[in-house]
Each structure stands twice: as structure tokens, then as C-alpha cells.
A and B are shown apart, each in its own frame.
Chain A
Amino acid sequence: MPVDFDIARVAQLARIALTDEELAAYSEQLEQILEHAARVQALPTEGVEPTSHPLTMVNAFRPDETSACLDRDEVLTQAPDAADAYFRVPRILDEGSANS
């Protein structure tokens, strides 16, 4: 199949801010890599089940018991911005959108 993609859209999906020059460079490199990777399509795989994982385990259970967890204060010392017991981030909703 032809390799054809919108690099700006892919970067947006991946939440990576890139300049136009960077986008152009990555676009070219990805085309080459995808061309190579697309070789997998040459292999007939009708009726072959996909393997997502080398182990065939389905569920891993443990007893429902409380145990120690990470120290909250120690965790928060590593945050770029924290307030009280929380991670702090820039506003998520635009002005006015909270009421719309």
C-alpha cells in the first residue's frame, strides 16, 4: 500500500510541538522507514492469529490486601509544579468554556 500521511496531524496526535522544518525532515525519514517496514505486507498471513505478547497468561491476580505505596511528599518533590497535595498544571478549559 502507498505510504501517505499527514505528518502535522501525526505530531498533533502524539502531542509533540515541532517546527515546519522539523516536520518536513521527519516526514522524509518516516517515509523511508515505513517503506522498509511495509515489507511485512509481502508475507501472506491469512488465517494467522496476531501475537501481542510472548506470554499466554490472561490475568494476574493478587490478594486484595493493602500494602505500602509511594510516599506522597517524596513524589511531589519531583513535580515541575505542585500545590498542597496536588500536581499543578496550566488551565485545561478555555475562558468561558466551563459555562458553555
Chain B
Amino acid sequence: MTDLADLTILEAGGGLRAGDFSAVDLLAANLRRAAVTEAHLHAFLVIDRDGATRAAEEADAALAAGDEDRPLLGIPVALKDNMVTRGVETTASSQILAGWKPPYDGTAVARLREAGAVIVGKTNLDEFAMGSSTENSAYGPTRNPWDTDTVPGGSSGGSAAAVAAGSAMGGFGSDTGGSIRQPASLTGTVGVKPTYGLVSRYGLIAFASSLDQIGPIGRTVADAATLLEAVAGWDPLDATSYPGEVPAISGSLDAGVDGLRIGIVTELSSEGIDPQVLGATTAVVDRLSDAGAEVTEVSLPSTEYALSAYYLIAPAECSANLARFDGVRYGLRVDGDNVEEMMAKTRGAGFGPEVIRRILLGTYALSAGYYDAFYGQAQRVRTLVRQDFATAYENVDLLVSPTSPTTAFPVGARTTDPIAMYYSDVCTIPSNLSGDPAMSIPVGLDDAGLPIGFQVMAPALGEELMFRVAAEVERGAGFTDRASLATSEVVDA
């Protein structure tokens, strides 16, 4: 018999409406999975059993009353713990927010509640989303359900691990430099960074405001599209949310790629990429070509500098955003003789090393005398990266590359070398700088049995085209493997 925890969202939605099982049953299956895997994974910081049970019971009542219009009704989802949830502890994996119970829901959270989704809990992340392995959490690392000696990627590693393990049907994360796509790649899940502004950032604890974007993690392309559709759209509470019509997202999943022009990005598909990842990428590209796409190599020359630009822009913005954590309104306070000493001691005690590193870097890059040489120059490089994309899209409809240069790496392997850790995001950062959508789709396993992700990038608001190609990539790859930990029995033993 199929464990309900292994269904896709679309299958579960069908079963709920057919009366095969209830939302309470579905939640119980996910919680059971969490109960046997969490000791090995630590994907969650909080499991909100009571809140989730109430939401599942409400979903069952709505289903009994014939609610047909909400595809997420009764579906258990896991939220990255930088998404603010009213009354449920939200720390962004930082000591400085220990115990904080927010007085409001973020917009994406509120929309998920309206959609009838069941919020299982809050997932672990690198502190304030700064990291690529979910090891920089003040509450301990998350591990990869495919191999618990490896990391799940980050910073949305908790949501990715929870979805891969079957402890939630879907998840949400935030992507500033690859923080949704890279963990999706490392955990064999589908992860999406939507067009900047498509999902409101209100109630997302800010890291780098011009780069941050909330997006979904699912087990299939169709599930990810369904999750995204529930949260996309303009929000008066986020002045940078996109005010136009929400583009179609899941409308063309079956349309195929015949006649589409697809460019493989030379700079992101050569030097520094693991040969097995490159091999899998080439195989996907060949299949797209066989399916009728016209594939060419495309150069984005400025992306060589994207990583360096990112490591000036993101810290600069974070140094400003994290100024709010000062021991006055919420979270930790360490006493001092005057207010400034209190703030400095609070921040010194409350922030972890990677966060302090980035605040210092950003403060320096923005300080008088260095602003133009570092931050200003990085912003000009950003313009060049955007121009590269614009030029490429004159000749191709979409771009593709590997998502991550390697598969999951061992726990501890990059923690002492910030630059090696930063390199994890080399393929994903360009889309954050440009603001365009991009997503990762699992396409195979390496020799160690670890998942390999493939990245599809589209022009701004090109979600429908991006999901259309992603669906073809998924069909062609036929990736049906599940994480070794995604089974209740093995772990019981």
C-alpha cells in the first residue's frame, strides 16, 4: 500500500476529493514520516502539531462542503523559518530572535492559509539565509535524506530535506543567490526562484532586498507550479511586488519543446563543474534536442564576475537590513550601561559568525571612500550581467545550465572555507542579479547515488515557458528515485 506521505500534491488533492482519505490522514502520514526521520535530519525547528491539526480539520470540513477550487486545500506544507508566522516561533535560525512569536503573518503565509494549506512547521536554514549548506544554523545543521553524511544544500535546506523525506508534501524557501534551487538540486526536488517581485516579500525576514524572492519546493514540476500559483501576485504591503497581471504558470506543462530555442550557458557549463554533473546536463540537453528544441551554446561573459559582485551587493544590503536587530523591539537583549553598548553587546552575542562576517563586509563596502570602488562597481557589473541576459534572449527563448557545480558535499567540508562555500552558488547567482526566474529539476544520480539538478532560466515573467520546458526535462529524465530516508520502515529499524 502506498504511504500517503509519498503522494504528489496533485495525487493527494485527487484522493482528498474522491474521499479516499482525509486531510487529517494526510497530515498524520507526514507527521509519522517526520517522527521517524527528524532524529537523522533535523529539517524542522518547530513542528506545529496543534495548528496543523486544526487546519487539517478545517480542510476536511471544507472538502465535505464541496470546495473544489483550492488545489492546496488540506495539503501539508513546510515553511522556511524566515517566513513570519503569527504566534509560531520564528527565528531565521538565529539566537538573536530566539523565542520570537511574530504578531503577524507574512503575505505568502496568509495566502497559503487562505488556500487551505496545512502548515506543518518551520524549517531550518542557514542563519538569516546566509549560507549554502544549512550548517550555519544556531540550532544545529540539517542533513540530506539521501545520505545523512552530506549536507542538503542551503539556505533553504530544511524545507528541501522535509519535502525530499516526505515530512511535508511541499515547501517554501527564499532564494537570494540560489537558496531554493541549490538545495533542491542536492535533495532531488524541484525548486523555483520566481521573477523578482512575483511573490510578496512582506513578512520575509529581509537579507538582501533587491535579490530576495520567496519560492516553492516540490517533488514534481506540476506540484511546484501549484504551490507557486497559491502565493504569486501583487501585494500592497510590498512596494516592490509586481503590480501587473500574474503570468500564467502551469498552463503549458504538456506543450513540449518543439521549435523552442534553448541556449546552454557556456560559462556555467564548463570549468569547475563536476564531470558527472556536466555529463547529466549534456544528456538532458540532448533529450531536449531530440524532443524538437533547437539547442545552441550561448555566452554570458559578465557572469564570470557575478559571484564577486554578489558578495558585495548582498552583504551591503544585509548590513542595512540587519540593523533592525538591536535588542529594542524583539528577540535577544544583552544589557549594557547605555543604549549603544546594549545594542553592540546584543548583536555580538546574538549573531553567528557568517552573519557577522557579512555585516562587517557590507558595512565596509558601503563606508565612505570605498563605496564606489566596491558597491558602485558591483552594481555596474550587475547592469552588465543583465545586458548579457537581454542579448542572449534576442536569440534564444530560454537558457539552461547545471544548478550546482557538485552534488551534495560532506557535512563540514566547506565550513572553514567561506570562498569554497560561496562557489556553491556560481550557477544560480546570475538570475538573482538579473531578477529573472529560474528553477532546478532533478535529472539523475551520480555514482554515489546523490541527486543531480538541472537549471532552466527564463526572461522576466516567463514562468509559463520555464515550467513548460521544466516539465519536458522531467518527462525526459524519468527521475523517480526517492531519498533513502524517505521510507518509514528503514528508519524504524
Binding site for B on A (CB under 8 A): 1, 5, 7, 10-18, 26, 29-30, 32-34, 36-43, 45, 48-55, 57, 60, 62, 70-71, 74-75, 77-81, 87, 89-92, 94
Contact = CB atoms under 8 A, between A and B. Distances in A.
Given A54-B435, A91-B338, A33 B305 contact: no
Interface string B340-384: 111111011101000011011101110100100110111111111
B236 interface: yes
B344 A16 contact: yes
A80 B367 contact: no
A72 B342 CA distance: 24
A71 B328 CA distance: 17
B339 interface: yes
A15 to B, nearest CB: 5
B381 A43 contact: yes
B127 to A, nearest CB: 14
B418 interface: yes
A57 to B, nearest CB: 7
Nearest to A78: B330
What is the predominant secondary structure among interface residues of chain B facing chain A? helix
A39 B308 contact: yes
B367 A10 contact: yes
Nearest to A9: B367
A98 B405 CA distance: 59
A50 B380 contact: yes
Given A15-B343, A48-B380, A79 B302 contact: no
A14 B308 contact: no
The 4 lowest CB-CB distance pairs between A and B, nearest first, are A54-B435, A50-B379, A80-B333, A17-B348
A10 B418 contact: no
A29 B363 CA distance: 15
B239 A16 contact: no
Contact of B382 (A12, A17, A50): A50
Given A10-B367, A39-B308, A50-B380, A30 B361 contact: yes
A62 B238 CA distance: 11
Contacts of A91: 338-339
A45 to B, nearest CB: 4
Given A16-B344, A26-B357, A80 B332 contact: yes
Nearest to B372: A50
A12 to B, nearest CB: 8
Contacts of B227: none
24 contacts: A5-B370, A11-B360, A15-B326, A16-B347, A26-B356, A29-B357, A32-B419, A33-B357, A37-B361, A38-B374, A40-B309, A41-B373, A43-B381, A45-B377, A51-B383, A54-B196, A54-B436, A57-B243, A75-B103, A77-B101, A78-B100, A78-B103, A90-B336, A90-B339
Interface centre among B103, B311, B418, B433 (most CB of A within 10 A): B103
B331 interface: yes
B191 interface: no
Given A30-B364, A55-B240, A81 B333 contact: yes
B335 interface: yes
Given A33-B311, A50-B379, A52-B379, A79 B330 contact: yes
A33 B263 CA distance: 32
A87 B384 CA distance: 45
Contact of B384 (A15, A30, A37, A48): A48
A7 B363 CA distance: 10
A92 B361 contact: no
